[in-house]
Amino acid sequence: MGNPGVEIQYVDTYELTRAGHEVSGQAAIAQFERLLEGLPEQADTTVEWVVKGEMDAFGQRFLRVQVKASPMLECQRCMQPFAWSIDSLNRLQVVNSEADLDAGEAADTDPDDLIERILGSQRLDVLALVEDEVILSLPYVPKHDVCPSLPESLVQEPDTDPARPSPFSVLGQLKKD
């Protein structure tokens, strides 16, 4: 999904969408300073990306952005680092002016139906766009599905003494009365 030897930094969104071209590449995760703020030390991994321009029958321009990465995050349960796999595909509408960025967002529109918009540019920083996509793909509270090394106090089963009655058994008696 990338051309390791090709170092593409800027693209013309108007030309890319008009011609339906695609650009791709990869970059060391260490290049993404905003992404790395507050994250644990990163492995020597790369971020792979593809940006493809599209134009629909109505002349609307879009960028299809695909990003693959595995940044190291810190689990908020066990506080251990782990790799978070990202395989993101997003479609962005390219608009001509700042006013067009908010156009078409009616109050009754479902937020899930809204398409993200970016301002068209003859010099769009592709790596900044890719970094944005990775940042938006990170979980708000990162954690393992199952932590490999939870502290003993969190692994123990709750107290389930069969001789002790359930505090909810009284509710069943109240319902019968």
Kindly list the distances between the CA atom of residue 143 and the CA atoms of 96, 131, 139, 167, 169, in Å, as whole numbers in the listed order: 40, 21, 9, 32, 35
Q: If DSSP codes are grouped into helix, strand and coil, which group holds residue 128?
A: helix
pLDDT score at 150: 65
pLDDT score at 6: 46
Kindly list the distances between the CA atom of residue 73 and the CA atoms of 46, 64, 66, 130, in Å, as whole numbers in the listed order: 15, 26, 21, 18
23-44 confidence digits (pLDDT tens): 999 999 999 999 999 899 998 9
pLDDT score at 147: 85
pLDDT at 5 over 50: no
Tokens in use for 84?
Answer: 């978070």
pLDDT score at 120: 92
In the block, residue with structure tokens 């506080």: 79
Q: If DSSP codes are grouped into helix, strand and coil, which group holds residue 92?
A: strand
Tokens in use for 159?
Answer: 């107290």
Q: Residue 65: left if φ>0, alpha if ψ -120 to 50, beta else—which one?
A: beta
Tokens in use for 83?
Answer: 């790799």
115-172 confidence digits (pLDDT tens): 899 999 999 999 999 999 999 999 999 998 888 876 555 544 455 555 666 666 666 6
Would strands 22-28 and 124-125 be described as parallel, antiparallel, or unpaired?
unpaired
Cα distance between residue 76 and residue 120, in whole Å: 38
73-116 confidence digits (pLDDT tens): 999 989 899 999 999 999 999 998 787 877 655 545 555 567 89
